[in-house]
């Protein structure tokens, strides 16, 4: 039985990914800070104690990665997949970002994935994979990106290193870069005309991304079909980052 560690598993993309991988027969180690959200994940997966373990931990804490890896090895005896998904939003531009905010973003979205991958790799065998959830802000320039862009861009570069350094051992590393995805946080911003203009009106597909879209891509990279994909960034954004699309409504706006 294969085993996947998923950070940020209490909601959104992480929750959907846990469900998708569980349905593929993979055992899940769900990681999050909110114990109540993790209980909802356990319930969604049928309270299957033989194939599901969760741990409430701050991944940025000094003992965070060790706690996660220890649980996975003690419960299941192996680690096949690491999905570094946990993240935070609402960044500010460079000139508005203080050191505390910078350290917080880098700590959660770059330092923690770095340390967790470092602790996981010794337990991985050929056929294993690390999937880092980055962002379109790691692919193109984005306003207000600041520390978020720096973190996600660094994570993309780390992925390339892992793919090169450990690919010969049969350990792959790839990025999945979501565009704006319809999570609770994003839905709250749909009343902001500027947000809608920037994201909805510039996406040449008639809906926003869903957590299921990202989870399906991650699941593919954990499947036999994704076995020869290494060192890549798969952007899941409906064409937002690769086109110059503007909706007819936006084109006609004054």
Q: Does residue 148 carry a catalytic annotation?
A: yes
Let me know: does 233 contact 139? Beta carbons within 8 Å.
Answer: yes
Q: Which of 148, 205, 228, 245 is catalytic?
A: 148
Give the CA distances from residue 107 to residues 75, 156, 201, in Å, rounded to whole numbers and listed in that order. 27, 15, 33
**Whole-angstrom distance, CA of residue 93 vs CA of residue 185:** 19
For 54, phi then psi, to 5°, come to -125, 155
Beta strands (DSSP E) in the chain are 3-7, 27-32, 52-56, 81-84, 129-133, 172-178, 233-236
DSSP track, 175-205: EEEE-SB--HHHHGGGG-HHHHHHHTTT-SS
**Whole-angstrom distance, CA of residue 180 vs CA of residue 200:** 9
**Whole-angstrom distance, CA of residue 225 vs CA of residue 121:** 22
Minimal CA–CA distance to 146: which of 94, 99, 104, 105?
Answer: 94
- Any idea which residues carry the catalytic annotation? 148
């Amino acid at each position: 039985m294969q085993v996947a560690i998923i950070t940020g598993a209490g909601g959104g993309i992480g929750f959907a990914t846990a469900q998708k991988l569980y349905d593929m027969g993979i055992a899940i180690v769900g990681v999050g800070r909110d114990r109540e959200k993790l209980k909802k994940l356990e319930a969604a997966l049928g309270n299957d104690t033989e194939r599901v373990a969760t741990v409430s931990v701050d991944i940025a804490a000094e003992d965070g990665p060790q706690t996660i890896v220890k649980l996975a090895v003690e419960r299941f005896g192996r680690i096949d997949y690491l999905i570094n998904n946990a993240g935070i939003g609402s960044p500010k531009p460079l000139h508005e970002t203080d050191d505390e905010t910078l350290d917080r973003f880098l700590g959660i979205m770059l330092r923690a994935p770095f340390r967790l991958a470092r602790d996981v790799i010794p337990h991985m065998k050929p056929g294993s994979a690390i999937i880092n959830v980055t962002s379109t802000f790691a692919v193109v320039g984005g306003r207000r990106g600041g520390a978020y862009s720096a973190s996600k861009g660094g994570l993309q570069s780390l992925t390339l290193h892992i793919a090169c350094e450990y690919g010969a051992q049969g350990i792959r590393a790839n990025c999945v870069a979501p565009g704006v995805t319809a999570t609770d946080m994003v839905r709250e911003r749909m009343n902001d005309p500027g947000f809608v203009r920037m994201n909805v009106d510039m996406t040449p597909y008639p809906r926003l991304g869903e957590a299921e879209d990202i989870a399906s891509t991650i699941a593919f990279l954990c499947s036999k079909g994704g076995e020869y994909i290494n060192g890549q960034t798969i952007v899941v954004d409906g064409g937002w980052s690769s086109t110059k699309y503007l909706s007819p409504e936006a084109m006609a706006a004054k």
